[in-house]
Chain A
Amino acid sequence: MKWKIDREKCIKCGACVGVCPVMSLELKDEGIVNDLKKCIFCGVCEKVCPVGAIKVER
């Protein structure tokens, strides 16, 4: 399982943070940070991302 973010595309809007059911995502100065120990690779962050910056492989 893989979680990838394209930092060139990401606008740091935080939409993914608000939908993450396990709170593994955080919006930091440097951008979106994912705590892969918490992540369940459910893919809702990929679904909501307005710019298609997140890819989740299951």
Chain B
Amino acid sequence: MLKDRYDVVVVGGGPGGSSAARTLAEKGLDVLLLEKRPSIGSEKRCAEGLSIGSLKMIKEKMGKIPRKCIAQMVNGAIIYAPNGKEVLIDFGEDAGAIMERKIFDKWLAAQAAKAGAHVQAKTEVVDVIKKNDFVSGVIAKFEGEIYNIEAKVVVAADGVESTVARKAGLNTTNKLINIDSGFQYEMCNLKMRDPKKIELWFGNEVAPRGYVWIFPKGKDVANVGVGVAMTDKPAKYYLDKFIEDNPKIFSRASILEVNAGGIPVGGFLKNMVLNGLVVVGDAAHQVNPIHGGGMKEATIAGMIAGEVIAKSIKKGDVSQKSLSEYNKKWWDKRGKKLQKIQNLREVVEKLSDEDFNMLAETLTGDDLMEFSRGNRFFKLGKILMKKPNLISLARKLI
């Protein structure tokens, strides 16, 4: 049963919401975590990949991750330039995991519940309650009835739609330039080169301003998807074409699941709080702009949000001013880094296929890994400097 008052209501049962809820519950606060879908973790809007570093971070925060949450460990990547030239990243040991989010997200929410949060699926927040310019609760639909639930603070972790923040009056609308359209099939009967490696394809024909991915979930099962931006044709067109053009991989393949979603790949917000409100995860555009991964960023942000909110409630001040410590802490810990990676994305998006081919000749797998972490931009800048038409772009990296 739902009560009519909590210390904190967290809206959204993804990694960001569960991380915030667990942190708050651990600090002794009375927390309600709401998920509008009937089942936490589905339908996924995600390629399900996590690096080994992210797994460790999540384990520290949320507890030891059960094996059943992981579909497949991976040990590297094969990256294809537009002309087919390959860059191999081989760690020779586990470097990441493809998760099973319908199990993983449920486990994350259960970890919040174990710490004392109350979790309720199939409960949709239809509006926020505001009193004297403070967000003071939510209006939720539960078993067909409307509930007014009061809270000292509301956490908006409601995904790319970001409905809660915007209803509360915070403009988190995604700019078209900062959102990728993602489309994906989970497929079986695939012929992958190496089911322990993710595969990525770049090129303006294959995926304008984005890439095609295969993230293996087993020896012949994988998430096969595409992210594109600012195209005339929908993302689905590019994925269907890629599948048709690669019969070696897909001639016997079947489709087990169809996924789609908008990926906020930048446009970080200076302010993510109002009086009584904190925004977390995709809803606050907290995604790595170069690869589009959001699970790690949401988990970190949820943790920071939980700490700041607990402190604010304890001192009896949940004003925007007090909660804005979250802005500062997030920008210090992740924002500055991600902003730098967004600058890299803006450069990469302007490269031609010919430029990509040149880079594939020069760069190592190790370089690519470092770029995605926001490091070694100088090296990339120096290579781009060699081509007169790329000098002004290169300057953005040096």
Residues of A within 8 A of B (CB): 11-21, 23, 26-27, 29, 44, 47-52
Q: A51 to chain B: which residues have CB within 8 Å? A: 183, 234-236, 260
Interface SS of B by simple majority: mixed
The 3 closest A-B pairs by CB, nearest first: A15-B262, A52-B234, A17-B161
B262 contacts A18, CB within 8 Å? yes
> Are A26 and B163 in contact (CB-based, < 8 A)?
yes
Q: Please, how many angstroms separate the alpha-carbon atoms of A19 and B351 in the complex?
A: 26
Contact of B173 among A15, A21, A52 (CB under 8 A): A21
Q: Which of B161, B166, B235 has the most CB of A within 10 A?
A: B161
B182 within 8 Å of A by Cβ? yes
Known A15-B261, A47-B230; further 4 A-B contacts with Cβ < 8 A: A13-B260, A44-B176, A50-B182, A51-B236
Query: Which residue of the partner chain, among B45, B174, B261, contacts A19 with CB atoms under 8 Å?
Result: B174
Sampled A-B contacts (11; CB under 8 Å): A13-B260, A14-B160, A14-B261, A15-B182, A17-B161, A19-B179, A47-B230, A49-B181, A49-B234, A50-B183, A50-B261
**Residue B162 at the A interface, CB < 8 A?**
yes
Residues of B within 8 A of A50 (CB): 181-183, 234-236, 260-262
- Min CB distance, A49 to chain B, in Å? 6
A15 / chain B contacts, CB cutoff of 8 Å: 160, 179, 181-182, 260-262
Decide: A52 and B236 in contact? CB cutoff 8 A: yes
Whether, in the assembled complex, B259 has its beta carbon less than 8 Å from a beta carbon of chain A, the answer is yes
Distance between Cα atoms of A51 and B240 in the complex (Å): 11
Cβ-defined contact, A13 with B45, below 8 A: yes
CB-based contact A47/B176 at 8 Å: yes
- Chain A contacts for B259, CB-based, 8 A: 11, 13
Residues on B with beta carbons closer than 8 Å to the beta carbon of A13: 45, 259-262
Least CB distance from A20 to B in Å reads 7
> Provided the pairs A23-B166, A52-B236 are in contact, do residues A14 and B159 lie with their beta carbons within 8 angstroms?
yes
Q: Distance in Å from the Cβ of B275 to the closest Cβ of chain A?
A: 20
Asked whether B69 is an interface residue with its Cβ less than 8 Å from the other chain, the reply is: no
B264 at the interface (CB under 8 A from A): yes
Residues of chain B within 8 A of A49, CB atoms compared: 181, 234
- Mask for B174-190, Cβ within 8 A of A = 1, else 0? 11100101110000000
Q: A14–B234 Cα gap in the complex (Å)? A: 15
Q: A49-B181, A50-B261 are contacts. A14–B235 as well, Cβ < 8 Å?
A: no
A21 to chain B, nearest CB (A): 6
Proximity string of chain B (128-143) to chain A, C-beta cutoff 8 Å, 1 when within and 0 when not: 0000000000000000
In the assembled complex, B378 has its CB within 8 A of some CB on chain A: no
CB nearest to B238 among chain A residues = A50
Closest CB-CB distance, A39 to chain B, in whole Å? 14
B65 within 8 A of A: no
Q: Which of B20-68 contact A (CB under 8 A)?
A: 43, 45
Residues of B within 8 A of A21 (CB): 173
Chain A residues with CB below 8 A from B258, complex form: 11
- Which of chain B's residues has its CB closest to A53's CB? B234
Docked CA distance A40–B163 (Å): 18
Smallest CB-CB separation from A22: which chain B residue? Answer: B173
Closest CB in chain A relative to B121 CB, distance in Å: 13
- Complex formed: what's the CA distance from A14 to B181 in Å? 11
When distances are taken between beta carbons in the complex, the residues of chain B under 8 Å from A48 are 176, 179, 181, 262
A-facing mask of B223-248, CB < 8 A → 1, else 0? 00000001001111100000000000
Complexed CA–CA distance, A13 and B257 (Å): 13
> Which residue of chain B has the shortest Cβ distance to A51 in the bound complex?
B236
A26 vs B179: C-alpha distance when bound (angstroms): 18
Give Cα A44–Cα B176 distance, bound, in whole angstroms: 7
Q: Nearest CB to that of B173 among chain A residues? A: A21
- Closest B-chain residue to A14, C-beta based? B161
Within the complex, the shortest CB–CB distance from A14 to chain B, in Å, comes to: 4
Contacts of A44 in B (CB 8 A): 176
- Residues of A close to B166: CB separation below 8 A: 23
A20 touching B261 in the complex, CB below 8 Å, given contacts A15-B181, A47-B230: no
